[in-house]
Structure 1
Amino acid sequence: MDLNLRAAVIHNIHENTQQELEDTIVDAIQNGEEKMLPGLGVLFEIIWNNSSENEKKEMLQALEGGLKKS
């Protein structure tokens, strides 16, 4: 079976509104299910690839700060 996870995730959400995308992200995080992690990874990849260098630095700072709190 040839499964392209990126394509499947993008296909499932490509017409979602901002609110639906937020709901998807919040639900995936609150559920804490391991099976949701690849989908969140695809979403992060899209965000990363569409962010400026300044936005990437901000994300990395937020990530570093969040990891230090853990």
Structure 2
Amino acid sequence: PPKQLVTLEDRLRNRFEWGLTTDVQPPELETRIAILRKKAVQEQLNAPPEVLEFIASRISRNIREL
């Protein structure tokens, strides 16, 4: 919660309190594979499903690394 961000200035913490607070979880394997598949299409790469699954199974937290 924003109230626990004690290192921020009060004015910034108050702004965060106005917004929506939500819990963001890492994507599941199928979602990571779909992200990789879409990126491969955008980059015009021919990546076999096995390769996409291998990469997605190794990178689970940081989507930017995909």
TM over 0.5: no
- TM-score, scaled to structure 1: 0.26
Higher share in helix: 1
**Which protein shows a greater Rg?**
2
What TM-score results when the alignment is normalised by the length of structure 2? Answer: 0.28
